[in-house]
Structure 1
Amino acid sequence: MENNSPELIVMLTHNDRTVANAHDIFEQCQNSKAKFWGFKGSGLPIDKMKQLFAQMKKQGKERKRRKKSMQRVTIFNFF
């Protein structure tokens, strides 16, 4: 039987920007059952985004980064 239940994506954002303490929040919650984690393409320097993605990958989480443009919203996966 197929599971049609919705999946939660935990977004480490506030007011459409990644929060400054996103890494700390993820560290505190990384052992939760949440499978999908993400953040926006603004609010953190790129090196901090890469570190956060690496930590998410290390914990086996699905990673998403949203980049909002005027024409469309695109979801990127970083590996």
Structure 2
Amino acid sequence: MTHKQKQAQICPLCLGQNSCAVTLGKELEACWCNHTSFPAKEAVKGDALEPKACICQSCVAKLKEEAELGLKRLD
């Protein structure tokens, strides 16, 4: 596995595993992201918007909660 492939498996927000099915060699339809909704891009700050890696389920849940509460990320 190349460094780029390993990096694609890391969530850019929390640096944990993102569990992306595609980076694990599975079909896109098998990925958890096909079964959830995402907050608006504005909820994510900075480098995380770069298409380097997917964010993880935990970070998606936190971003959705912050958006629902009207909170703005400062980090």
Query: What TM-score results when the alignment is normalised by the length of structure 2?
Result: 0.22
Question: Which of 1 and 2 has higher RCO (CA within 8 Å, sep 6+)?
Answer: 2
Query: What TM-score results when the alignment is normalised by the length of structure 1?
Result: 0.21
Larger fraction in strand: 1
Larger fraction in helix: 2
